Chain A
Amino acid sequence: MNWWQVYYRLREAREGIARNTWASLATIVLLTLTLLLFGGFLWLNANLSQVATMLERQVQVRVFAEEGTPAATLLSALESLPGVANVELLDGETVYAELAPVFGQETLMRALPTDAFADSLSVELVDPERGAETVELIRAVEGVGDVIWGQGFARVLYRISNGLQKGGVILIVGFFVAAFLMSLTSMHLAIMNREVEIQIQRWVGVGPWGVRAQFLIEAFLLGLFSSVLAAAVFLYLGEVIQGAIAALLPFMAGQLTSPLLVIGIVLVTGPALALIGGGLASQRAIGTGDQ
């Protein structure tokens, strides 16, 4: 393909889009919406993973040692209990260092007594649903002081976020397929509308790939417009949503996944899906053999 060919193909693709203004607009709008929903759920899912990780920590059991008993000495006793998957020693200073940037040093010092940052043990349960039984066993261990658990709300949220995450994956796949089918259908219609053009090209000696090039470029441009639009909307909404979440849930600030990665995925997905759709539609209509 030489430069004139590229120039003519681009011109024909542009004219093709302009000629079918309403059909092209409908394709762009629908593809943009689908990409927005696709990207939205992708972002939601990524953030739900973060939330789920945080909540998972909440459903773990926090064990404090009795005064005078070093927390580390309880480690092996707790590990041997049935229903315990893993035990981790949490250094009080590390916990403080993690929380201070989020809530502010002064707030933490005012709100929490000094020993809130004593060394503790984080116990991961094999089955959080049967946690109550395991917690009773932990409380019975000699040297164990406070045991913090029973955060029912966190458990419910954990279940919900897990459910949403699984549902989100299905929705993401669904919107992905919808975006693909949309580009396939619109290119199929574009090809059907230009049957005479295709015939003329064949009569003057354009090969199958030459004929397909115009439709591939057209599909790529439609996909690109759609994904740029979706990315722009997403960039704006992403900032707004992130701001709102940070204001409502300060502990989530800095934990949210940046929308930039999702925007990047949307920018690549739109043209890629449109190209595949255009390629398949033109293959069905034009074929690949040079008869």
Chain B
Amino acid sequence: MGKTTLLKLLYREELPDQGHVYVGGNDVTRVRGSRLRRSMGIIFQTFRLLEKKTAFENIAYGAEVLATPPVEVRNRAREILELVGLGNKANRMPGELSGGEQQRVAIGRALINRPQLILADEPTGDLDPENSSRVIEILDTVHREQNVTVLFATHAADIVDRLQRRVVRLDHGRVVSDASGGYWTGREAGAP
């Protein structure tokens, strides 16, 4: 089982063959998928934006489909555009944005419904170091200022080291370490 599968189990895209998966104290197999996902924001390596909607509309879309009143959607989308540093590019289409900017729009979309948990699956995988840093900064800010739990799945040791947070290391689907600190801190003594 890889990290993507683990995340899929958390947002109930897949169900466990055996054992239990708990999110916020709830067994995910006993909660409706749609209900569970309303408390989450999901970010992927590929941005998966709607090509025919602007940056603003892409972010707003996440709230509109949940029937949030338009005024609230507009205010929240503007607020988030500022948070992800795209206030001046609200009307740009995804094709007019760089990869890093597109990923920030995707983060904005994940934040629009005020999630308690963000699941980020290799969100910097397709980005250059500069854009990766920007994405990490945004997620770190959201975690610190909005008290949102961020589960960041990555194989990039430099990112883990930079964040200096709790690191859970998986190897062939098994937790091999769970500790605070960087990538190397989380490794077992003697491991390569």
Interface residues of A (CB under 8 A from B): 1-2, 4-5, 8, 19, 196-197, 199-208, 210, 290-291
Q: How many A-B residue pairs have CB under 8 A?
A: 63
Majority DSSP secondary structure for residues of A touching B: helix
B190 touches A (CB below 8 Å)? no
What is the bound-complex CA distance between A290 and B38, given in angstroms?
A: 13
What is the bound-complex CA distance between A201 and B112, given in angstroms?
A: 13
- Across the interface, do B66 and A205 meet the contact criterion of CB distance under 8 Å? yes
Q: With a CB–CB cut-off of 8 A, which chain A residues contact B35?
A: 205
Residue of A nearest to B14 (CB): A291
Could you say which interface size class chain B belongs to? 20 to 34
B138 touches A (CB below 8 Å)? no
Interface residues of B (CB under 8 A from A): 11-13, 15, 32-40, 42, 48-50, 52, 61-70, 109, 112-113
Can you name 8 extra interface pairs (CB under 8 A) apart from A200-B65, A204-B66? A2-B67, A19-B52, A200-B50, A200-B62, A205-B36, A205-B39, A205-B66, A290-B33
Q: With a CB–CB cut-off of 8 A, which chain A residues contact B109?
A: 200, 204
What is the bound-complex CA distance between A291 and B29, given in angstroms?
A: 9
What is the bound-complex CA distance between A197 and B51, given in angstroms?
A: 10
Q: With a CB–CB cut-off of 8 A, which chain B residues contact A2?
A: 67
- Across the interface, do A204 and B38 meet the contact criterion of CB distance under 8 Å? yes
Residue of B nearest to A205 (CB): B38
Q: With a CB–CB cut-off of 8 A, which chain A residues contact B62?
A: 200, 204
Q: 3 tightest CB-CB pairs across the interface, nearest first?
A: A205-B38, A5-B67, A205-B37
- Across the interface, do A8 and B33 meet the contact criterion of CB distance under 8 Å? no
- Across the interface, do B67 and A290 meet the contact criterion of CB distance under 8 Å? no
Give chain B nearest CB distance to A252 CB in angstroms: 55
- Across the interface, do A203 and B38 meet the contact criterion of CB distance under 8 Å? no
What is the bound-complex CA distance between A272 and B50, given in angstroms?
A: 30
Give chain B nearest CB distance to A205 CB in angstroms: 3
- Across the interface, do B61 and A200 meet the contact criterion of CB distance under 8 Å? yes
Q: With a CB–CB cut-off of 8 A, which chain B residues contact A290?
A: 32-34
- Across the interface, do B48 and A206 meet the contact criterion of CB distance under 8 Å? no
What is the bound-complex CA distance between A199 and B42, given in angstroms?
A: 11
Give chain A nearest CB distance to B13 CB in angstroms: 7
Q: Among the interface residues B34, B38, B48, B70, which one has the most CB atoms of the partner chain A within 10 A?
A: B34
A200 contacts which of B34, B40, B48, B68 (Cβ < 8 Å)? B48
Q: Among the interface residues A196, A205, A206, A290, which one has the most CB atoms of the partner chain B within 10 A?
A: A205
Give chain B nearest CB distance to A97 CB in angstroms: 66
A202 contacts which of B37, B61, B70, B113 (Cβ < 8 Å)? B37
